[in-house]
Amino acid sequence: MLDQKARILIVDDEPRNLRLIEAMLGPDGHITLTAANAAEALALVARQAPDLILLDIMLPDRSGFEVASQLKSNAATKGIPIIMVTALDDRESRLAGLNAGAEEFITKPVDRPELLIRVRNLLRLKEYSDFLADHNRILEKQVRERTATLAEEIQERKRLEQEILEISDHEQQRIGRDLHDSVCQQLTGIELMSHALRKALPPTAKNEAELAGQVAFYTREAIAEVRMIARGLCPVIVEPDGLMSTLPQLAETVTRMFKVTCVIECPRTVLVHDNNVATNLYRIAQEALSNAIKHGRARRTEIHLTADPQELVLTIRDDGQGLPAQPIRSGLGLGIMQYRANMVGGSLVIEPQPTGGTVVICRVPLPALSARG
Ligand SMILES: Nc1ncnc2c1ncn2[C@@H]1O[C@H](COP(=O)(O)OP(=O)(O)O)[C@@H](O)[C@H]1O
Ligand SMILES: [Mg+2]
């Protein structure tokens, strides 16, 4: 700014004083504006802020102090440096000027070299503070842009993670169905043929008949195993009551395999028309139970499934040792449960139970269900 011309507003009701100060500043190449009273000065500042103001105290409409404090209390004008023009040794006025926020004082009669030095210093200060303010604005803008980019990237990562989860679910379901529909059918065919072979063999071929019987037996076992694998991959039967009918099987498996009591409570019929929703809820129950056994060392677990007109609620409680005191490091399982809940438009909380142990509650609003159903 010092290289450019500065705009300096001189406020004084004495035309003679205005002319004198204008003449003093002139050789430094500044542009001078003049105002004869407070109202004129404020109107000029509002139109285009000057770089500096020389402000007389005694103005006809308001005092210079009032003008100064009004300008200093407005964010748009508080950065404009003000030099108050006071009478020589007028201590009171200087204090009042300081109080109003003025940066400098100059005494009447104005001494030209002193005026020029004070003006130069204040203009330089103003230049630095303008530069800093600009710099801050640029930095803030960059921070805002970077934050927005990061938020977008996080959003995109979440979307991709959800997509991966959905794809892997679909793939698992497809493999589960294929195993069930093709491999199991073929094995059933082999089993029937083995029975037929055993019956068709003459009574003399006892050993061969026994072998055929064993083939049938092992084939039956293989069918049972493949069915179990298929059920794990595609857990929920594609029927509206699939979730209701599959959760008891999950409870039974938990009780049988881990010797941990698992009680299922589903007081009323809960129909879930979207198999994707049912599968996600099933997986949430499976993970919550696995955590109860693995981390909570629970002896007893409960699954509740209820629905009212507003929402479907799946709750899994355990009587285990409860969540750790320190914040849970974000494990994969909890994260995936959250994703699954979000994916079906629901929410999930995991919290300690007042009576000890842990509870996982997944709520799915029913409009989301019917929209998907
Ligand atoms: N039912 C629970 N009882 C006690 N602690 C639990 C339970 N569920 C989760 N936690 C705590 O939360 C942590 C994260 O769980 P999770 O994300 O499922 O991780 P992981 O993949 O190790 O199972 C566990 O390490 C455990 O400390
Ligand atoms: Mg887990």
Check if 275 has its Cβ closer than 6 Å to any atom of ligand 1: no
Nearest ligand to the CA of 336 is 1
Cα 243 to ligand 1 centre (Å): 24
- Domain borders along the chain are 7-110, 158-233, 242-372
C-beta atoms surrounding 304 within 10 Å: 17
CA 191, 194, 200: angle at the middle one, nearest 5?
Answer: 145
Yes or no: say if 362 and 247 are a contact pair by the CB < 8 Å rule.
Answer: no
CATH class of 242-372: alpha beta
Mutate to test the pocket of ligand 1, among 287, 289, 295, 359 (most ligand atoms within 8 A of CB): 295
Residue 253 has pLDDT above 90, yes or no: no
Percentage of the chain exceeding pLDDT 90: 63
Cα 355 to ligand 2 centre (Å): 22
Instruction: Report the CATH fold assignment for 7-110.
Output: Rossmann fold (3.40.50)
Check if 26 has its Cβ closer than 6 Å to any atom of ligand 1: no
How high is the pLDDT of residue 88? 59
Residue nearest to atom 1 of ligand 1 (CA): 292
Specify the pTM.
0.56
Sequential DSSP letters for 162-213: HHHHHHHHHHHHHHHHHIIIIIHHHHHHHHHHHHHHHHHS-TT-HHHHHHHH
Check if 286 has its Cβ closer than 6 Å to any atom of ligand 1: no
Ligand 1, residue 331: give the atom nearest the CA: 17
Residues whose beta carbons lie less than 5 angstroms from ion ligand 2: 291, 333
Q: Which residue has the higher pLDDT, 229 or 341?
A: 341
Taking only the tens place, the pLDDT of each residue in 197-242 is 999 999 999 999 999 999 999 999 899 888 888 877 777 776 888 8
Taking only the tens place, the pLDDT of each residue in 46-64 is 998 999 999 999 999 999 9
